[in-house]
Structure 1
């Protein structure tokens, strides 16, 4: 139907142009020619208006260029909130203007969102979600459990239309298991150093390259200095935060979570060194109050000028130059994540966030994928680059001054989690027991061994370790 109407309009335009050409070719009939030309212009304008209306119908609404589904369709997305994912959620919601289409986004705290996904998808029934926000570990856990839909056919189908080759291969690899792509990369991320250049200059401080040098900076500023909340922070405000800091330190010391047979490796010498370094930094730089100082606390303190340095996510670093959030953008500076020793990798992990489609989603996967692409296309990522680290190479110029430090951290850092699906169990058990070190309820070795024992029990029950 669409092609027939378009052909008719083009034929009408051709006839109009033909008469204009004939009328202007002779000396006679200039008055008639003028009338014909006026008439043809009116017809052409009408045709253009009709074509514009048809194109608007076919291309959706402003900000969402997809055709309306034939029947009422409700798309539900779940994820967690930080500035760039808030932006992407707004991009998804622009498709609410398309006829017969409703897009609902639900952004929770990270741990809460992931728990909701596990509860919903582990039941084996239809998924209540059509789009699931995930990070690297979710690919291993959720796709490894068979909960997520391979997207290879859809990626191939829309590769050229959405220029998906502009997203680096490394980002696609983060969503890939055994050649199957399970997610569309929407966010690049890592943790790196953010500091006040004016404070460092005033005190004659060098930008720290190692965590021992971070401790020297903290000693120079002074833990009891009432001008500041604290000299420096890492995030130990929740179990998952402990686990991430531990993973970065562990890898930097040459260790890893699991052996090749999926037995625990994290409670060995490298693990003990990693936790000891975390405690050493916390004691010198944060004090007891630092253990409850959250990511939001870090961000706001930097913006208000009550925190001189921190190790923070690149996804939040974009807010450090937002004049509506802070007037200190000119003196806030960025550096790569510190190392644990002079020759170790940087203790900064490589993260991507993805939009994934559950295998048991009941709506059309093609429609869901195209809605995802409305948030992940180049136009949307240009806007997203103002508030976070995007994945498309072409939009790097739209990003903030933190990008060189973030990219150097990724290049020289410890990488991302292994794709072993048992990693999800490791993370959960470490998140349960590591905070008990901070409270004094367990020693370092006791907590690591307890996490290892709990992991072995669960991993054996799930078949990851031979009983």
Structure 2
């Protein structure tokens, strides 16, 4: 197993040690999920068991917490909750798993950010047998993209609970005043941004994430819609003609029609800028809508929602699992942990979490009229249109995601800051990404 070199964060050294320690206990690809060695026997008594549930800071958790006493009453399982901010969660889990701790039993994680590292380090219990053999659970009700987002090396590593797709936000009033139709293509998006760009009036044509790492997820939909991807057939592809076009388009929108400080914006800054009425068009995750619908928002009631505009290959936005639930392979309470996941991601509870504005992966909940009451009507229509389409990842699918994002982000930032020819830089970044892939394959 290769030696992971994660050098992108202040606690990178810890992750290196953690990954190395996990490698010696990594999941055997030949071992069948659900084997006696990996999983508790079905039917073992779970009443009276206590499980530790570690969560991130997310609105989904705010809905689940008040419901847990009912779960405890119905199952006899006691749930001990520990919550952490998102940036602390990975650290906490890494420390626990490196120490081969039996807790937490069940935990929230980000499949596309941590899934590959966690699974290959032996920190995610394969859930194929648990979910696939339970007809009542109805795994087929989950969107294919959400399942693929949560699958590593052919195994279901976690259960999707919150999904995201990239969409277009627009100012209804500004488009109406200018006589502009809602952009349906990326070309139309650029044309509309140019016409609606009035910096002298304090309104820019376009805003989106410009920070190096955060922008990667949002440029991905531009990339896919041009027929590209970060990695194709196992090879880095961020210097392909399709990638160059997508990066130049996204970066050009921010350079030509975005705010001067766009390069410093992640989603909180970009959404706040749009909410302050300072931009006409904004592309980001559909879950961001809540930040635009506050009492402080100056665009409240004037925000429109539309599917991501089409590129050369059509509209191909990312459609991902942003948060999932997983089981610690060292837990002595796997059956109780699965009972909790089955409940928390079941149809009835997912209906409640979705009604509170947390978009989920179950098709039946989206088809239920009650499943969309937590969203503006127009946004719900876009959700229903996009929930079963798009691409199942929004960043390079590597173990060292941070390093891969760095290579993509720096190319786009060159465009934002005025570089006119990024081909040589893209070639260099592609070589660096390929070196990363080769190292991880060793």
TM-score band, normalised by shorter chain: 0.7 to 0.9
- The correspondence for 2:350, drawn from 371, 381, 397, is 381
In structure 1, how many angstroms separate the alpha carbons of the residues matched to 2:86 and 2:134? 30
Q: Match for residue 55 of structure 1? A: none
1:361-404 deviation digits (Å, cap 9, x = unpaired): 43411222222334323333223223131222333223222132
**SS of equivalent residue, structure 1 residue 449:** helix
Tell me how far apart the structure 2 counterparts of residues 93 and 431 of structure 1 sit (CA, whole Å).
45
User: Could you tell me how far 1:93 is from its partner in structure 2?
Assistant: 8.5
Of the candidates 206, 215, 229, which is equivalent to residue 232 of structure 1?
A: 206
Give yes or no for contact 1:425–1:459 (8 Å, CA) kept in 2.
no
TM-aligned CA deviation for residue 337 of structure 1:
0.6
Using a 3 Å threshold, how does the CA distance of structure 1 residues 249 and 263 change in structure 2: closer, same or farther? same
Name 1:459's counterpart in structure 2: 437
> How far off its partner does 1:333 sit?
1.5
Q: Is contact 2:193-2:281 (8 Å) kept?
A: no
1:331 aligned partner: 302
The higher relative CO (CA closer than 8 Å, separation ≥ 6) is in: 2
Q: How many residues are aligned here?
A: 386
**Structure 1 pair 327–244 and aligned structure 2 pair: CA distance change class (3 A):** closer
Larger C-alpha radius of gyration, 1 or 2? 1
Following superposition, the deviation at residue 335 of structure 1 comes to 0.7
> Is the contact made by 1:425 and 1:458 (CA closer than 8 Å) also made in structure 2?
no
Aligned pair partner of 1:75 in 49, 52, 77: 52
Quick one: structure 1 residues 305 and 92, their matched pair in 2 at CA, closer, same or farther if it must change by over 3 Å?
Answer: farther
- Of 199, 206, 225, the residue aligned with 1:252 is 225
Say if 1:225 and 1:190 are closer, same or farther in 2 by CA, change over 3 A: farther
Q: TM-score, normalised by structure 2?
A: 0.73
Change (3 A) 1:422 1:103: closer
Equivalence for 2:252: 280
Question: Given the alignment of the two structures, is residue 181 of structure 1 paired with residue 156 of structure 2, yes or no?
Answer: yes
Q: Quick one: distance in 1 between partners of 2:298 and 2:69?
A: 31
Q: Give distance in 1, aligned partners of 2:396 and 2:264.
A: 31
Aligned to 2:361: 391
Q: Distance in 1 between matches of 2:314 and 2:114?
A: 24
Whole-angstrom distance in 2 between the partners of 1:338 and 1:181: 31
Work out whether 1:155 is the aligned partner of 2:131: yes
Aligned to 1:406: 383
C-alpha displacement of 1:82? 4.8
Structure 2 CA distance for aligned equivalents of residues 421 and 258 of structure 1: 9
Whether the 8 Å contact between 2:169 and 2:283 is mirrored in structure 1 is yes
* 2:182 maps to 1:210: no
Residue by residue, what CA displacement relative to the aligned partner does 1:397-449 show, whole Å, maximum 9, x if unpaired?
Answer: 23222132234345564453699655847734425634652457996335433
CA distance in 2, matches of 1:313, 1:69: 40
Query: Where do 1:4-403 residues align within 5 Å?
Result: 70=48, 73=50, 75-79=52-56, 81-84=57-60, 86-88=62-64, 100-109=78-87, 113-114=89-90, 117=93, 121=97, 123=98, 125-126=100-101, 129=104, 130-136=106-112, 138-156=114-132, 158-160=134-136, 162-177=137-152, 180-228=155-203, 230-237=204-211, 239-260=212-233, 262-318=234-290, 320=292, 329-341=300-312, 344-385=313-354, 386-396=356-366, 397=369, 398-399=371-372, 400=375, 401=377, 402-403=379-380
Q: Which residue of 2 aligns with 1:44?
A: none
Q: Deviations over 1:178-213 (max 9, x none)?
A: 653222121221110111222211221111122332
CA RMSD of aligned residues (A): 3.7
What is the match of residue 27 of structure 1?
none
Segments of structure 1 that go 5 or more residues without pairing to the other structure are 1-66
**Contact in 1 for aligned 2:327/2:338 (Cα 8 Å):** no
Match of 2:321, SS state, is strand
Larger deviation, residues 188-197 vs 351-360: 351-360
Distance in 2 (CA, whole Å) between partners of 1:433 and 1:258 is 17
